[in-house]
A and B are shown apart, each in its own frame.
Chain A
Amino acid sequence: MAAEAAPKLTRKDFVADQDVRWCPGCGDYSILANVQRVMPELGVPRENIVFISGIGCSSRFPYYMNTYGFHTIHGRAPAFATGAKTANPDLSVWVVTGDGDGLSIGGNHLLHTIRRNLDIQILLFNNRVYGLTKGQYSPTSELGMKTKSSPFGSIDHPIDPISFALGCGATFVARTIDVDAPHLQQVLRRAHQHKGTSFVEILQNCPVFNDGVFSEVEDRKTRSESALVLEQGQPLTFGSAGSLKGIVMQNGLPQIIELADDDDPVERGVVVHDERQEMPSYASALATLKRPDFPVPVGVIREVEKPCYEEMLVDQVNAATEQNGRGDLRDLLNSGDTWEVS
């Protein structure tokens, strides 16, 4: 078999020959390393992998991947990806964007790309600040955040990327953490496996302009208390032995209850995670869980099936060809009323 004959690729095969130019300590380094690690496991020929980005710190990503790559214009990466994937559905297309690129200037394209459900992966690095333009507040910055462009505090209400994606009808929505390598890799694998648009929010630290914004979930010591790790079919519990807690629903609203170590969480009414619920209300409720009142859900929040845009388009091309025969230019030009002049 050709697949067996091909030499097995390793992480190194996905490392481009360019110097990486992110700031020291940037969460992007960890994301890059983990993406490069996951790539050889996906079973996709390297030449079929395309990374497409917009503008911003995160959008330098394609230059560092030894795959096909396209660093495009601010906010428009999902649209470029739409064209590339539609042109060649065999490609494995990965969009890399940030909270500014994806949710501010490119919010419209993110919306429409997600709702069309092309079979692509969208990785949104959320550091809640503009990095490349040197530290202005972003659409995910908290109200009141003081930056160069908001010296008296931001008066923009932030948007939550997960809620946004769910609102767009996303078929795969997940959240992970830049420095949690195993979790990040697992989410990337799941995103790739999913047929349809996979939206992944990666909480990412910006050590220069917003250092420590996600330290509670990044720090292993506090992660168990501050992150709610989602696993299909498992109850929504968090905390460590002696201080276990669970999420229950009361009057349609999530609440935290304390659990004894020998409690059966399900019997206590703790919600069992079901990423495959067709109704988005469960996933939307999860998306409302925020610090400091709740732990931050990480993992696959929702995965459902819907037809993909590029497949339906190819189906239309095939159906039209079957019905009318392959188009003939001479017939087209001579269709309708014509007359001869001799």
Chain B
Amino acid sequence: MTTKSILKIDDVAIRFAGDSGDGMQLTGTKFTDETALAGNDLSTYPDFPAEIRAPAGTMAGVSGYQIHFSSKDIHTPADKVDLLVAFNPAALRANVADVRSQGMVIINGEAFTKKALVRAGYAEDPLPDLATRFNLVEIPLTSLNREALQGLALSQREVDRCKNFFALGLLCWLYQRPMKATERWLNGKFKGDVREGNLRTLRSGHAFGETTELFPTHYSIPSAKIEAGTYRNITGNTALAWGIVAAGEQMNNPVFLGAYPITPASEVLHEVARHRNFGVKTFQAEDEIAAASATIGAAFAGQLAVTISSGPGFILKQEAIGLAVMVELPLVAINVQRAGPATGSPTKTEQGDLLAAIFGRHSQSPVPVLAPASPGDCFHTVLEAFKIAVDFMTPVVVLSDGYLANSAEPWQIPDIKSLPRKPVSFAKADDADNFQPYSRNSETLARPWAIPGTPGLEHRIGGLTKEDISGNIVYGPENHQHMVNLRAEKIARIATVIPPIEVEGPDSGALLVIGWGGTRGAITAAIEETREKGREVSQAHLRHLNPFPSNLGDVLKRFDNILCPELNEGQLSMLLRSRYLVDVQPFSKIAGQPFKVSEIFERIDTILNQKD
């Protein structure tokens, strides 16, 4: 047996790619878990087709899972990968352009039959050419896996289905990952020979790395220096779901989640539905309209009400959200944005719904809008959204996106004591003599939350124009103007309770890069790269899109240039320009993919060069 050398490196990005039935998402997730346990900082990017099982071996069915891990603080899944594991020719063809020059490409050589090459759209064998540009490693994955599982009572199909775990074992050897979490998971998930098969092929893959001549070197990536605490991996969708559960606990009131299944938001419904023992009620409605309507009905009856959806469904909810604006009931409406218009690309990310969230209802219908900046931040954003909704008696929109939804990052588990805690309070029967359904809190302008079941507070609310204080239907012109102004003022006052925007870097200068939502990681990485080149640039990232933080105008005016990268055609740029009369330069990308760090870096570079 040869002695293998170990090379210490700081930063690696790899991608698993195969058919959507090959278990790539699972393989990637398990590698991610092991990497987290190894103490690296990490960022993942699952990229999969909308089709559940597209025809095997075709480009349409390729599913990929990318993970970037490092001994340093990282912010994105990386623009290029150092290693691609391609289970078939289609996976190779769809992904090889993202491998860095002279990077490693591991393929299942046995999957590269003439027929499979044609099916993937290769006119000729690509391997000879690729071998000149990459470190191409062919392994007979199918037969290695079959050999490992000899003697088990599994069908050929079941045996072949295990081969992703052979690859996982090999990669765990290559990057010196533990395999304990995966073994524990397999032991809990499967029984009998299926469990045995997966465990055996996982270990065989690891042993293969140790013994084969194909890999003279394996790598160690020291653990990252991150803040002390307890960590876990979390995706944006899980964080949204746990934020919803946490809101019920922290506000001491049951949660009602109404939703209709839609990619990529459904997982939030699935996750919350598991936690009935927190007293949460989930309602799978007949459509998005009913989901929003039932949720508002639950808010009327005194529950913490939340509805989740993605773009097309969110638009269907707008009329109901408008009613919640009119009747001033607390509601959190989450939109996990996806690429559109229409059905668009359900599994691909975009930030196209910002203006729809702020302005997308008929007439003057102001709502606060919040956006999380990272997967883990989804948790805290939901908690804040509930607090604003209840304190100001208003619907609140939260804009996540497909990238945040599925990406994982290490998340420092918050100390429960550090989370905001404020039990909800309802109008009381003792107040019956003075009760008016639209009386106002002098600070927040919120009306009382008076719920059915409270004696003496019987009252009617509805969508018709109403008189302030009494809530009686009134159509007069002065009253209408007054109520429009009042609802606008109520939302504007939220700016008094949200923190000022912080500038990372010099608080004035040549260039401020401002973004919102899920692009923070890419922007941060581009800015760090710029600074490494010795140039100054500042960053600000908006969580509050409506109302804006009160100091935002002052901040913007202190910079010569403002760059606003967005995964849309410049929606935030438009808002900032019209609101503050500053020359914000939009930087748009609408490709269904997150920003690459290099794209933003180059744009920053261009602006700074013009300046010089």
List chain A positions with a Cβ less than 8 A from chain B: 16, 18, 45-50, 52, 55, 62-63, 65-73, 76, 79-88, 90-91, 108-109, 111-112, 313, 316-317, 319-321, 323-327, 329-330, 332-334, 336-342
Contact = CB atoms under 8 A, between A and B. Distances in A.
Interface of B: 33, 36-37, 39, 181, 223, 226-233, 242, 245-246, 249-250, 254, 256, 258, 275-281, 283, 285-287, 289-291, 293-303, 305, 319-320, 323, 327, 413-414, 416, 451-464, 472-473
B452 A50 contact: yes
Given A333-B242, A334-B230, 14 more contacts: A63-B473, A79-B285, A79-B291, A79-B297, A83-B299, A83-B301, A88-B452, A111-B286, A320-B275, A321-B276, A329-B246, A329-B278, A338-B413, A340-B229
10 contacts: A46-B455, A69-B461, A76-B290, A87-B303, A88-B301, A88-B452, A91-B452, A327-B249, A332-B242, A341-B39
B228 A70 contact: no
Contacts of B245: 327, 329, 332
Contacts of A329: 245-246, 249-250, 278, 416
A72 B33 CA distance: 47
Contacts of B301: 50, 83-85, 87-88, 91
B289 A79 contact: yes
Contacts of B299: 83
A48 B456 CA distance: 11
Nearest to A338: B232
Given A72-B293, A73-B320, A339-B36, A316 B462 contact: no
**Chain B interface helix/strand/loop/mixed:** mixed
Contacts of A88: 301-302, 451-453
A79 B461 contact: no
Given A62-B462, A63-B473, A70-B462, A86 B256 contact: yes
B231 A338 contact: yes
A258 B593 CA distance: 77
A47 B413 contact: no
Contacts of A62: 460, 462
Contacts of A66: 458
A329 to B, nearest CB: 5
B473 A112 contact: no
A342 B294 contact: no
Contacts of A79: 285-286, 289-291, 293-294, 297
Given A317-B276, A329-B245, A334-B230, A48 B452 contact: yes
A63 B462 contact: yes
Contact of B293 (A83, A326, A338, A342): A83
Contact of A70 (B297, B320, B453): B297
Contacts, number: 208
A90 B208 CA distance: 64
A70 B461 contact: yes
Nearest to B234: A333
Q: Which 10 residue pairs of A and B lie closest in terms of their CB atoms, listed nearest first?
A: A71-B462, A83-B297, A327-B278, A83-B294, A79-B293, A80-B297, A87-B301, A69-B460, A320-B276, A83-B298
Contact of A80 (B226, B283, B296): B296
Contacts of B254: 87
A48 B285 CA distance: 25
Nearest to A16: B460
B160 to A, nearest CB: 28
A65 to B, nearest CB: 8
Contact of B453 (A47, A80, A338): A47
Contact of B463 (A18, A73, A313, A316): A73
Nearest to A55: B463
Nearest to A317: B276
A47 to B, nearest CB: 4
Contact of A81 (B226, B297, B451): B297
Nearest to B274: A320
Contacts of B227: 341
A64 to B, nearest CB: 9
Contacts of A65: 460
A84 B452 contact: yes
B464 A87 contact: no
B473 A18 contact: yes
B232 A334 contact: yes
A68 B461 CA distance: 8
Contacts of A81: 297
Given A73-B293, A329-B245, A87 B286 contact: no
Contacts of A69: 459-462
B277 A47 contact: no
Nearest to A14: B458
A83 B305 contact: yes
Contacts of A91: 301, 452-453
A47 B231 CA distance: 48
Given A83-B298, A86-B298, A108-B287, A71 B460 contact: yes
A98 to B, nearest CB: 16
Nearest to A81: B297
Contacts of B249: 327, 329
